[in-house]
Structure 1
Amino acid sequence: MSFKPKNITYQVSPIGLHGGKGHSELKENPLKVDTNLIKTINEKTVELNTTKLGINKDVTLSFDTKGITPEPYLGALGHVVILDDMGEKFVHVHPTSEEQRGIFMNLDGVSKHLLICNGKICTKNGAEEVTETIRGELKSLELQKEIHTTKTLCNGQCKHGPIAVLYPQGTWYKEMNKAKSEELIRQLKEERNVNLGSELYYHDGKTFKNHESEL
């Protein structure tokens, strides 16, 4: 699965697929036309607009995110799967411009970049809360234009997760939690040399050094 529902117990079970011969009878999960092109999830609204649909005609799908900037997934800003009414044929499309698959982020004025690991193990150990706390603190302290954040996949330090990495300092922080995340942003706000007591690596100007080996 590429997502993890919050506060929901779920079970992964196999779905049977038929190959070759068509199966036109959709008894278990018949497709239903959804005429509502405006969806709101977690207080975020997206509206789908299309040009006129026609056989053998180009169609443009436009998504109005109402001012919210979505995060790229698997290298693209968006993914759309289109099924026929029998559920037998599908089209998988991405944004039209190869050069604009992701978001152009203007980093003018940004002084620091926080990478927050959201790999499988870090997420299991609380990376989602760490990410939300850091971004929430940045917003409340009006630091979003000074400190940019990026969620990453695995950074290779699973046993020390959740991991956060601060640049340009090059400091890796281990075992991050809500309290440490709040303290991290508070110290950055005060323009102090951040000391959380959970430093894993630091950069000496040439290479990374293991902080624990230096103690």
Structure 2
Amino acid sequence: CSWAEYDGTYTNVEGRVQRAFKAVEPVGRAKPVWVIISELAKYMGSSGFDYPSWSDVLKEVAAKVSQYSELTVDGVSKVGGQVVKKRGGLKISLKGLEPKVREGAWSGYLLIAGRGLHHLDTGDLTRRLSFASKEVPEPYVEICRDDAAKLGLEEGDLVEVRGPRGSLKVKVKVVPKGLSSVVFMPIHFPACNPLSIMKYEIDKDVRIPLFKHSMVELSKAR
């Protein structure tokens, strides 16, 4: 069943474990994930998967995984949950990377393409949610107040964002605080996706695209 149809916990990248409360009853024959895994394990001949409830799963995790040993049902059920115990790790120094401006002298603003608060990835699911679409109904380019003033831009103005692979017309969102010469665009609107105008490389070490290294120019749309 969906995340809204069962009780359980989840751990975020910070290591914070929080309770998920069931909001609605499962539809039809839908089952919680932990029940499906338990039944699958039994079908494959494994034992030890007889969990009466989600809390028993949490208790076993706390008993078996040292970092989770201090977790309790009451603790993860509170607002903010509990944070797993930290272990010492390897400390390394990282060199900062400057944006790579390609031949053709693209300059002006560093474009950050990423996720916003109210939508997920391509937005195919979240754009159907009334509250998410109410908060962020359309694409935008976010720019700091000082840079907007230099360009003569105000909130809601239509601008053209030009990159190495094309251009997009989008409304301006002016923020009081932000980095100078840096703009942000969400990736949740396929018809106005900033990745379509960016020309990026694949990092040779970690093999991921460098989406934070593309330069663009901004001007009022005509």
TM-score, with structure 1 as normaliser: 0.22
Structure of larger gyration radius: 2
Higher percent of residues as helix: 2
Return the structure number with greater relative CO, CA threshold 8 A, min gap 6.
Answer: 2
